[in-house]
Structure 1
Amino acid sequence: MNEETLEILQMNALQLLGIQLEGFDMDDLKGISNHIKTPFTNTTRKQYRNELKHFIVHMNSNKIYHYTNTFGVNFLIFKFKKYKQVYIIGPYMEQRPNERRCNELLQSANIKISKLSILKQYLLRIPLCHHVKAQKMCRLAIRFLKKRNTSYETVKIDLNFHATSEVLAASKAQIDYTLQEIEQRYNLENQLLTAVENGNVNEALSILNEMNLSVAGLRRVKDDVSNEQYKAFLINTLCRKAGEKAGISLVHIDEISEKYAAIIDQTMDSETLNEVIHLIVKEYAERAMRTKANAYSPKISKVIQYIEQNLDSTLSLNELAGHVNLAPSYLSRIFNQELDQSISQYIIALRVKKGRDLISRTKMSVSEIATYVGFKEQSYFTQCFKKQYGMTPLKYRMEHKEFY
């Protein structure tokens, strides 16, 4: 199966509809379960696991399954038997329920009204999408992944994951779910700041898209336009701080901030405001990248920009030399002359620095951070971190918490 095709479809689903398209191995019950569960789903029950496994195994490869859970959240599911894959489009809702409706949903599911805040927190992160549009996206995915221009029948299913109060998740698990959702939002926010500060434009925009998904239904104020304005002002303020840390001159920061503050204030359309938010992140990140690169010769600046944009990839001297049309030995020599360190030393130092920022700004585990910044082994990341900052990542976190 073409992974590139899946990535293009995922990007289209996210950018055009704001919803996810995810693929899972058929035997990845945990992954599938985590994707469709609610805060109240007791995933530890043997009956739950058996029912889910039975459904996946006996899915008809020529049908689309439409699952709507107890709270009106939708998923479209289809199977690619040849590659033993299950694909899920969603979660999504056609309409977000008001508080009265949320109370009714809790009562029908035999869940205590005291759990209202947990339900609202769950529903706030579910994006809105018309079912017809989601179905079109699903058929498009089938067409390109399976290379079949066939219109599959859509079948409604009910997995009965909330049949009685006895099968609900434990109260602690419900609360933990909510806390994890909130923590994830703040982690993404701080990952965005780190990407902007380091001038990683594509990464910053990718994280912004993730952030938009995670707060799909979050409302700080009542009407949509004011809510988008609130988000835009917030992003502008956060990016100002990231730009300051990146070394952008305060004059330039003030110019960018003032320009976008005026645009936000005058824009009265939600979609346009969303585009403005992307422009804010892009401009601050690009300015940070130029600020860092301007200290060196054009060829070395170009190499540094390439390294920063591909920091989580395996970077070789030949690849970098080819990027600027120089002989590897010559690039290595002039890089050493300008930065007083080798290319490999620079890459490691930059990865560790980025890891340090995430250590202090997020609750991501050291293992997650090590992988995120391009280290294959956590132990090597820890070794390099200790050499660069004189302490372990966990000790650094205890002494330098910035945003939580």
Structure 2
Amino acid sequence: MNDEALEILKMHALQLLSIQLEGYDMDDMKGISNHIKTPFINTTRKQFKNELKHFIVHMHSNKIYHYKNSFNVSFLIFKFKKYRQVYIIGPYMEKRPNERQCNEMLQSMNIKISKLSILKQYLLKVPLCHHVKAQKMCRLAIRFLKKRNIVYETVDIDFSFHTNEAILAESKAQIDYTLQEIEYRYHLENQLLTAVENGNVEEALSILNNMNISVAGLRRVKDDISNEQYKAYLINTLCRKAGEKAGVSLIHIDEISARFATMIDQTMDIELLDELTHSIVKAYAERAMKIKANAYSPKISKVIQYIERNLDTHLTLDELANYVDLAPSYLSRIFNQECHQSLSQFITTLRVKKGRDLIARTKMTVSEVSNYVGFKEQSYFTQCFKKHYGVTPLKYRIEHKEFY
């Protein structure tokens, strides 16, 4: 399986159509069901699990399956039997329903009108995309993943997930779904702040892409252009705060902010606004990175930037020395001279600091934070954290939570 081709296809699907392309192992029923579920589907039901498993097992490898749920949200699904993989493109919808149509959907499924806000929250995150364009993206994925230039037939399918009120998810599950979606959006915002503050350009841009997926259909104002401008202003404001925390001078922050605010005002094209938003994140993150780089010689700055980009991986002295064309012993010596600590101490300190930011700004568990910043064992992360900040991660969260 060509993982690089899949990543490129994912990026194209997101950037060109604002829709997701994900691959799952055929046995990953949980991942597949989470991808296609709505707030009203009871995914724990035996009927749901059996029907989904039966469909996955009996899918033909030479067909594209079009699944449209009861709310007119579509998914395109195809299978790569050789590698036991299932690929899903979506969700997407061709037209967003108005309030009257939302009410009619609920009535047709015997769902109480009081659940209207939950339905609207679900539909707002679904991006708009013409079905023909989604099909073209699907066929492009098949061509590059399977290396076959064949036009597969598209077959409409239907699951009996919404036949009556008795099989719907419980009310609490519906509300929890909505809350989880909102919490996830704020979680991404806080991750973006941390990445920009630390000058991690690639990570920040990756998080921004995930943010764009999570708010694909979210509207704060009536027309599309104003809505995209609103999102760009929001990103500009978030990055300003991150730049300030990184130690960027207020004069430089104000210059960057004012320049992008003017550009947002003058941009009346959705695609250009999306590109502008990426430029905003990149500009602030690069400025934060320069603040750190100026304190060290070019070789040591390059090593530090490499460490920050690969913080969640196993880093060795030989690997870092090879990256900057220095002997390991020489790199170790000059690193100690400039940074006043060993490479291993520096890496641990950086991991703990980034972990501290995530503890304060997100609802990630201590285990998730520990893994995210590159610790193999949560207990060692907790030990290092307490050594640096005098308290456990959980106690630090209680005392210093910043954004939720």
- Tell me the equivalent position of 1:257: 257
Deviations 1:246-271 (A, max 9, x none): 01111111111111111122222222
Q: How does 1:5-404 map to 2 (within 5 A)?
A: 5-404=5-404
Q: Distance in 2 between matches of 1:222 and 1:261?
A: 20
Cα shift at 1:179 = 0.2
Q: Distance in 1 between matches of 2:51 and 2:111?
A: 22
Structure 2 segments unaligned to the other structure (5+ residues): none
Cα shift at 1:203 = 0.5
SS of match in other structure, 2:121: helix
Q: Distance in 1 between matches of 2:263 and 2:347?
A: 38
Cα shift at 1:15 = 1.5
Q: Distance in 2 between matches of 1:281 and 1:401?
A: 24
SS of match in other structure, 2:325: coil
Higher alpha-carbon deviation: 383-392 or 208-217:
383-392
Q: Distance in 2 between matches of 1:6 and 1:40?
A: 31
Code of the aligned partner of 1:115: K
SS of match in other structure, 2:314: coil
Higher alpha-carbon deviation: 198-207 or 224-233:
224-233
Cα shift at 1:318 = 1.4
Deviations 1:50-105 (A, max 9, x none): 11111111111111110000001111111111111111111111111111111111
Code of the aligned partner of 1:283: A
SS of match in other structure, 1:311: coil
Q: Distance in 2 between matches of 1:334 and 1:3?
A: 38
Residue correspondences, number:
404
Q: Distance in 1 between matches of 2:314 and 2:75?
A: 36
Cα shift at 1:236 = 1.1
SS of match in other structure, 1:89: strand
Q: Distance in 2 between matches of 1:300 and 1:329?
A: 14
Code of the aligned partner of 2:182: I
Higher alpha-carbon deviation: 143-152 or 329-338:
143-152
Deviations 1:107-136 (A, max 9, x none): 112111100000010011111111111111
**What TM-score, normalized to structure 2?**
0.98
SS of match in other structure, 2:163: coil
Code of the aligned partner of 1:277: T
RMSD: 1.0
Code of the aligned partner of 1:325: D
**What TM-score, normalized to structure 1?**
0.98
Deviations 1:328-382 (A, max 9, x none): 1100100001111111111111111111101111111111111211222222222
Q: Distance in 2 between matches of 1:101 and 1:309?
A: 47
Q: Distance in 2 between matches of 1:220 and 1:331?
A: 52
